[in-house]
Amino acid sequence: MAVKVNIKKLNPEAIIPTYGTEFAAGADLYACMGGDTVIAPGETVFVKTGVALEVPEGYAGLIYARSGLSCKQGLAPANKVGVVDSDYRGEIIVALHNHSQETRTIADKERIAQFVITPFLKADFNEVTELDDTDRGEKGFGSTGKK
C-alpha cells in the first residue's frame, strides 16, 4: 500500500527520491549541491537534497544510511537515524559523517541516504511511583547473554 506524499523541488536540478527495487522499504535521497562535496575524515557535512516534502500526519520520515556507502566508504548520517516530523516543511538535508580515515567525495546527484516513511504511536506519558515487575527487571546492556 502506497501513501501519498507531496514533494516540492526547491532546486530545479533536484532528483525526486526513488525506490531501487519493487520491494525496497527506503527511497533513495540524492545529493543536490551543484557540484561534488568533499568530506574529510571525521568531518560532518550537511548535504542538501533540493527537495521538501509533506510527511503525512501519523507518520515519520526516517533517514537511514545506504549500506554500500556506509560499509564500503564509511559515510553515514551523523545522527545515525534522522527524523523528519509531519509538520516540517523545510529542505531534506542529510548530515553525512565520514567515519573512515580517508577523504571521501560525494558526486552531485549521488544517492546519499534512504528515506523510510513509517507510522508511529504517540505516547501519553503517565508518571507513577512503581512499574510492573518482570523477570528481566533492570538488567540491560548484554544481560541476556551472547547466544
pLDDT-derived band at 147, boundaries 50, 70, 90 = confident
Q: What mean pLDDT, rounded, does the chain reach?
A: 95
Which of the four CATH numbers 3.40.640.10, 3.40.50.300, 2.70.40.10, 1.10.1200.10 does domain 6-119 have? 2.70.40.10
Given a cut of 80, whether residue 1 has pLDDT beyond it is no
Tens of pLDDT, residues 25-78:
999 999 999 999 999 999 999 999 999 999 999 999 999 999 999 999 999 999
Structural domain spans, the chain:
6-119
d(CA 42, CA 97): 7
